[in-house]
Amino acid sequence: MNNKIEFIERMKKRTRKFAVDIILFCNSLKRCNASSVTTYQLVKAATSTGANYRAACRARSKSEFFSKMCIVVEEADESEYWLETIHDAVLSDDIEELSRLTNEANEITRIMTRAKSSTY
């Protein structure tokens, strides 16, 4: 396999793992009205990151790829926002996992921003 195909497959797995890890993390949040809204938004953004990346990989044109990658970047960044909100509102006792997921959201955002920018 060439480097591009390996990168694509690695990122598909990484974004799916991110989504699953977010779902599992959200199940551990403190139960309150704020956490239910935050959980909904975070799970939506995290799962959309991977789903839209997969769609971008099947794009029929450079412009379609770029458009989907813009969504990927937006959703990964939104995931980071919700994780920061969880931290600030002290909705989780698992600071280590919260930090790891926040770092992962940031890394995915940076990687996808570079991938998107390399299109044009």
pLDDT tens-place string over residues 5-38 = 999 999 999 999 999 999 999 999 999 988 899 9
> Which homologous superfamily is 3-117 in?
23S rRNA-intervening sequence (1.20.1440.60)
* pLDDT reading at 120 higher than 60: no
**pLDDT tier at 1, thresholds 50, 70, 90:** low
Domain map of the chain by residue range? 3-117
Q: Pick left, alpha or beta for residue 59 (phi over 0 → left; psi -120 to 50 → alpha; otherwise beta).
A: beta
Q: What is the pTM of this model?
A: 0.93
Kindly calculate the radius of gyration of the chain based on its CA atoms and give it in whole angstroms: 15
Q: Where are the alpha helices (DSSP H) in 58-91?
A: 62-88
